Structure 1
């Protein structure tokens, strides 16, 4: 006997679907994602404080150490679009747990290295693949699958997880390097990544439908369903729609490459990619990697310089969450243009601010730069979603790959500039000028069209 509609509804798991406000399961998933991002962010804060002690112990020049960081950043970026496709195929939970294990293996194994190629394999390959499998694509996937309302705000909070990781680990790593050596710092970072794995396995879920819920803010109407990527009652994303008989669904690599082929035909994609490459060059590649060594060159203690970057992390949390809130309300193109101009101006004045002691002007730079550190992420994700629809997350993976290629180029180039000239001045000024270019490109990103969406 066929059950009645009323009977079907009575047996469905309705409690999670009716949850509202902070009781909605999407917020628990976002909280676990935040903690995972904090755990993975530990190593990204480490090279800045480990570079000088490694240079002293092994005699490796700054350019070699910077090149290893560059390999890390390249793989960090190139892994991102494929990680987004892997999350579609195998689930967020599995990919995230494996990524954290790779970060722990690369950081912990570094205590045994004795040759340059060890550095490139551990710092570059293992940690690069691990961090790239999560990073901002992980945050974008969680925000798109679990939220219809508050997506910009959630993306801002999750992006701030990376800054929080820097805030937590950088001063601790600097203190450990000074008190117990760089190996102790590497082991602490590895332990932090491992500690998050059980939480991810036990709590993280791939989609709202897994717990009988709709995405947060999806009221079940057609509009809400379209916005809640693959949530309960929603239309499947293009990547998950069954193919016609006789056709094989593309694998993760095919999905990522298909998204790139489609996006690369548009000028908007290249404007976003080049702008985000400059974003990476002026943050992860330059400041995150070289600010502590540059401050050390001016006579500032490594722990003091690490504290400055930690303060950058504090204000980055504020700036990124605020950027997510603003992205829900204003044109993301205008926001990006303003962010890049502000960052460029701050980098122009940085060479004149570094000294052997803290001054108020340095603290002003730290506050301004911190507010702007990754505030570019929420509006960039919003533009990818506006221009490329359900494939926006995978397309953002390619835009983020450009971000990390720019970061890798800047990390390597800044190390070479310092070895050649004895200072980082040309690197700071050059990055400031590039930020002006990124501002112009962002303001010229085309509006979405029905065909593009």
Structure 2
């Protein structure tokens, strides 16, 4: 049998990191630098513009369940090719959109197929690394962090040079040129006879259905918290009369620190366990998110954003490692798709509510406050999950 963690496994980790950087950088928070240009051209309120991103995230949620089920029954290469092609084509088509419904539809479709680039690819990595999966998942997840910082940063400069339509077109072309060839590298570990290698893992400590329900509720809340600075940090800073290119630089700095955080928390999950690492990252995120509304100049944002970014970034890595621990390998892509569906819904709700509260009050205070509250409830749920898992592990010992 091909040894999990071999050279081919690490090649796949690297390819997944790049795919996630480009695809999720656009679908999760790449729209953040388009708020002001779209508002200026069409006069749309920020809540309506935020719904464009929410439509993409809703697509990720729905597609996560469907594409996860497909990935458990279909060669992963086919799923990855479909996802990369559709995301690139939809972003290109957004360059010609002129109505909100067109943006909603394009981002929703991109999300549905783009979901095949998340849970199924992380389930694939878990197959290549039955031991020490936290580090491998952390490295792949770091690619997403790089994209969530790099895509808005590059898009801001493209908007300055080409306008918002030219920026969408350029991003779509690059997406197709880079992601589609990388999707061809995706394959499951093989036995010598050509079959898919069996994965020898301990049984989950609690029933999978219970684990999925518990983690789904927690991730809904943790991602509602996470999404607010990802989507609204740039317009928050622009509200202080700071240029969009400089504001996107703060987001870039935050997500560059997040690259290190995702790898570090992946390794931490290997050392102290997935759920304690998840709790640590959630506490970091929850205790710091509201502080963004108290900052008043660019220097403060550049100082604080990387500190926040390093800790918040561990949430997604540790969610993925926790989901891997609590789900059986034969159904992992499907069950992780369900859990991550609630994560993307949390992103959609969090980003929308902050835009809506801004439209109602002219301030981001309530939106960031609601994010912190969601983080507190998430922490309580994860703490209870930890207690339940420890009790079952003790009973099985």
Q: TM-score, normalised by structure 2?
A: 0.90
Q: Are residues 1:91 and 2:65 paired?
A: no
User: Which of 156, 161, 170 lines up with 1:188 in the alignment?
Assistant: 170
Shift in CA distance, 208/375, structure 1 to aligned 2, threshold 3 Å: farther
Judge conservation of contact 1:85–1:394 (CA < 8 Å) in 2: yes
Which has the larger displacement, 39-48 or 204-213? Answer: 204-213
Deviation of 1:392 (Å): 3.9
User: Which of 375, 386, 389 lines up with 2:328 in the alignment?
Assistant: 389
Count of residue pairs the alignment pairs up: 387
Cα RMSD (Å): 2.6
Q: Distance in 1 between matches of 2:93 and 2:190?
A: 37
Deviation of 1:385 (Å): 3.1
- Alignment-derived partner of residue 272 in structure 1: 215
Q: Distance in 2 between matches of 1:296 and 1:205?
A: 44
Deviation of 1:342 (Å): 1.5
Shift in CA distance, 197/349, structure 1 to aligned 2, threshold 3 Å: closer
Judge conservation of contact 2:323–2:336 (CA < 8 Å) in 1: yes
User: Which of 35, 43, 49 lines up with 2:26 in the alignment?
Assistant: 43
- Alignment-derived partner of residue 300 in structure 1: 242
SS in 2 for 1:104: helix
**1:252-291 alignment runs, 5 A limit:** 263-264=208-209, 266=210, 268-284=211-227, 286-291=228-233
Shift in CA distance, 386/197, structure 1 to aligned 2, threshold 3 Å: closer
Q: Distance in 1 between matches of 2:75 and 2:188?
A: 6
SS in 1 for 2:131: coil
Judge conservation of contact 1:336–1:443 (CA < 8 Å) in 2: no
Deviation of 1:440 (Å): 1.7
Q: Are residues 1:347 and 2:347 paired?
A: no
User: Which of 231, 237, 251 lines up with 1:309 in the alignment?
Assistant: 251
**1:38-187 alignment runs, 5 A limit:** 38-44=21-27, 45-123=29-107, 125-135=108-118, 137-187=119-169
- Mark the structure with the bigger radius of gyration: 1
Query: What residue ranges of structure 2 are gaps of 5+ in the alignment?
Result: none
- Alignment-derived partner of residue 367 in structure 2: 427
Shift in CA distance, 20/341, structure 1 to aligned 2, threshold 3 Å: closer
Query: What residue ranges of structure 1 are gaps of 5+ in the alignment?
Result: 1-13, 216-223, 229-236, 238-261
Judge conservation of contact 2:77–2:184 (CA < 8 Å) in 1: no
- Alignment-derived partner of residue 350 in structure 2: 410
Once the two structures are superposed, residues 185-224 of structure 1 have per-residue CA deviations (whole angstroms, 9 ceiling, x without a partner) of 1112112220134423542223333896997xxxxxxxx9
Deviation of 1:99 (Å): 0.7
**1:364-383 alignment runs, 5 A limit:** 364-383=303-322
Deviation of 1:340 (Å): 1.6
Q: Distance in 1 between matches of 2:150 and 2:326?
A: 36
Which has the larger displacement, 66-75 or 383-392? Answer: 383-392
| Stretches of 4+ aligned residues off by more than 4 angstroms | 210-215, 448-452
More helix by share: 2
SS in 2 for 1:420: helix
Once the two structures are superposed, residues 320-357 of structure 1 have per-residue CA deviations (whole angstroms, 9 ceiling, x without a partner) of 1011111111132222222222111211221111x3x4
Judge conservation of contact 1:38–1:161 (CA < 8 Å) in 2: yes
SS in 2 for 1:120: helix
Judge conservation of contact 1:384–1:393 (CA < 8 Å) in 2: no
- Alignment-derived partner of residue 226 in structure 1: 200
Judge conservation of contact 2:269–2:276 (CA < 8 Å) in 1: no
- Alignment-derived partner of residue 255 in structure 1: none
User: Which of 5, 10, 15 lines up with 1:32 in the alignment?
Assistant: 15
Q: Distance in 1 between matches of 2:179 and 2:304?
A: 36
Judge conservation of contact 1:63–1:412 (CA < 8 Å) in 2: yes
Judge conservation of contact 1:171–1:310 (CA < 8 Å) in 2: yes
Judge conservation of contact 1:32–1:199 (CA < 8 Å) in 2: no
